[in-house]
Amino acid sequence: GSLERRRCLYLRTGRACCQMVEVLLAALILVCSSVSCGSAGGYTGLPALGGIYYYQYGGAYSGFSGADGERAQQLDQRFYLLKLPIARAAMAVAGCLLVFPCVLILVGVLRVPWHFPAWLLIECILYIVIAVGTLPALYYFLHSLLSVYNSSVCKEREQLYQSKGYQGFWCSLHGAEIAAGLLGCLAAMAYLLSAGLAVRDYRTVHEQKQKPLQL
């Protein structure tokens, strides 16, 4: 009855709305990170088709055959292995950022801050720490990707594909990686906003709890 209505009212508060935005941003970062990782890639030789190689992003192509095809496959695999640790780290961080606001939403629905107002101060500190930590994490993510794109493996791979007339294999950040960086910046701002809302709600709860004593 009334208890359930009070719990549902939390989802209409500014802090809950901000936390739901954080969930959305974390989910988008997770998707962009998985796209950055991509798949193993590479041209897979199909003996049944003679000298035709199949590229899993686009279909069957006859531009590579023999030694060139094997070299393209090797470069794709090495390039994928270079990006894999970065993408996995980004996905792990995004997964943690996805779980964190979900837990806080559950805590708010259960009215823990009302019974234990100091929780809001703890929540504020956690948000500030995460917001500050997001900036070096983004720097590491983009710096590591640029190091991979500046590697000899990527350069040789780019030249090999360009020699066969294929486009889209440039050694530069692509849209999903740039989007992940921008979403990370938005998430950091959302965390700072949530920290401010937590302090505001702490003052509100503290004042409401003092009223019966004053009366």
Question: pLDDT by residue (tens digit) across 47-58?
Answer: 333 333 344 433
Residue 188 has pLDDT above 90, yes or no: yes
| Position 40 in a domain | yes
Question: pLDDT by residue (tens digit) across 18-28?
Answer: 999 999 999 99
Residue 44 has pLDDT above 50, yes or no: no
pLDDT at 113: 84
Domain count, the chain: 1
* DSSP codes joined into one string, 2-23: HHHHHHHHHTTSHHHHHHHHHH
Find the mean pLDDT for residues 4-20. Answer: 80
| Position 9 in a domain | yes
| Position 150 in a domain | yes
Residue 3 has pLDDT above 70, yes or no: no
pLDDT at 54: 42
pLDDT at 212: 57
Q: What is the pTM of this model?
A: 0.80
Find the mean pLDDT for residues 145-158. Answer: 91
Cα–Cα nearest to 18, from 166, 116, 127: 127
| Position 69 in a domain | yes
| Position 215 in a domain | no
CA distances (Å), origin 169, targets 32, 153, 164:
18, 12, 12
Instruction: Note down the domain range covering 127.
Output: 2-210
User: With bands split at pLDDT 50, 70 and 90, how would you rate the model's confidence at 213?
Assistant: low
Distance CA 55, CA 199 (A): 53
| Position 130 in a domain | yes
